[in-house]
Amino acid sequence: MDEELSVGGLLKRLEQVFDSLPDARRGPNTQYELADAGLGAFAVFFTQSPSFLAHQRALKLDKRWSNAERLFGLHALPSDPQIRTLLDPIAPALLAPMYRHVFQTLEKTPVVAGYRSFGRQLLIALDGTQYFASKHIHCPQCSQRQLSNGQTQYFHSVLTPVLVRPGQPQVLALEPEFVVPQDGHAKQDCEIQAAKRWLTEHGTFYAQRGATILGDDLYCHQPFCQALKEKHLHFILVCKPEAHGPVYTTVDYWAAQGLLGQKVVRRWNGRFGELDTYRYAEHLPLTGEPDTLFVNWCELTTTREGSGELLYRNSWATDFPLTDTTVEAVVRDGRARWKIENENNNVLKTKGYHLAHNFGHGQQHLAALLLSLNLLAFLFHTVLDLLDERYQAIRRTLGTRRTFFQDLETLLRYVPFAEWNALWTFMFDGLDLNTS
């Protein structure tokens, strides 16, 4: 495995990122480095152990050194309140170089090439998710909404772009963009504005590599589609009938004239036959305005063979040419958007990363920075799952994520390891995987 993409290599780069950050502290109170605070918080997310640092203090008293120091590179062990105080002033955008480093290093391996799909494109799915809500705790970075009972709810949300591919169970986290109040804007920030900022900051980089943006109907509107075209990014976006009257007026007219392309494919799902009916058309007006953007449109309807029972229906707008030859691949890639829900947001919320848990709110950027570190922990584990054969074997043998992280927490609590290879070897040999 490439040393740069080992846990130790990735942690060294993360330490360098923290070392490069501005330190807002004044005076002599500099006992702990920013990197100690950042790596300490990251260790909690990577191990999925809220008590990790407390365990390491106890381990150090007993063994004179700890896994926080040897594995995660901390020079000293700050307390949880000290970590929150040190990290609160740091804007999460300052961690963006870490995401970019992981992606560019993966480009040197077969991994990124393995994510290419139709037209040799990389598929980037966009979606927003909420990660904090409270009626009482809030900060200047919070969004807010009025509840039906008249109370105000404060919340944080974030755009979490990921690299996806049909048939690929792992998603690769890319740079997030946070929904936060913007200077000079009277309106509250929202997911679509965050997506536009993400395009401004990162769109050109991914466009140069050949990328297609996937998104739900929220993104399928002219300003955003135009922004994608200006960045030379392709798109496959959910296009719902109730939100796109001009598109479906044209579809209905062309269907009545017999002008829609159509293709039917029969599949056997192991129990009964399914019929996939594709309909498609090109050069449809996205709006009813004179300056409308024209898009191509496709629809998939899946029914049960014989009974005609409706099993699935969805439709998309795209800038890819649509023919009998291409429509299946475009629809397949469009459906991969759901991976951002199933393999990213749901995993982060339900598989130990506790996305919606309040690890610390702060008064500046703490909540967002901790969320970004949590995403990086998920990304690091994904890299290991893709490239490290021992890690793969350990995860496969232990079965669930929960079992793996329980074992990891226990080992790191009681046994000091000199470096990461020693830990993986200990687990690998302990499970007797050398002979399996």
In this structure, the chain runs to a length of 436
Rg (CA), the chain: 24
Half-sphere exposure of 37 (CA within 13 A, CB side): 23
Is residue 158 helix, strand or coil? strand
- In this structure, the dihedral spanned by the alpha carbons of residues 45, 49, 50 and 53, taken in order and rounded to 10 degrees, is -90
Residue 339: predicted pLDDT? 86
Helix axes 366-387, 34-47, angle to 10 degrees: 60
Question: How would you classify the pairing of strands 152-159 and 128-134?
Answer: antiparallel
Residue 190: predicted pLDDT? 92
Is residue 388 helix, strand or coil? coil
Question: How would you classify the pairing of strands 162-164 and 234-238?
Answer: unpaired
Is residue 243 helix, strand or coil? helix
Residue 1: predicted pLDDT? 66
pLDDT-flagged residues of the chain (< 70): 1, 25-30, 184-186, 352, 435-436
Residue 321: predicted pLDDT? 97
Residues whose CB falls within 8 Å of the CB of residue 60, separated by 6 or more in sequence, listed in order: 66, 68, 69, 77
Residue 358: predicted pLDDT? 77
Task: Look up residue 148 and give its two tokens.
Answer: 């039906």
Half-sphere exposure of 223 (CA within 13 A, CB side): 6
Is residue 231 helix, strand or coil? coil
154: phi then psi, degrees, rounded to nearest 5: -100, 145
The Cα–Cα gap between 215 and 165 comes to 14
Residue 184: predicted pLDDT? 63
Residue of 422, 430, 414 lying closest to 52 (CA atoms): 414
Residue of 128, 134, 39, 148 lying closest to 86 (CA atoms): 39
The Cα–Cα gap between 65 and 45 comes to 21
* Lookup result for tokens 């795209």: 318
Task: Look up residue 316 and give its two tokens.
Answer: 């998309």
Residue 2: predicted pLDDT? 82
Residue 436: predicted pLDDT? 47
Task: Look up residue 375 and give its two tokens.
Answer: 């995403």
Q: What is the pTM of this model?
A: 0.94
153: phi then psi, degrees, rounded to nearest 5: -110, 130
Is residue 48 helix, strand or coil? coil
Residues whose CB falls within 8 Å of the CB of residue 307, separated by 6 or more in sequence, listed in order: none
The Cα–Cα gap between 368 and 358 comes to 11
DSSP state of 370: H
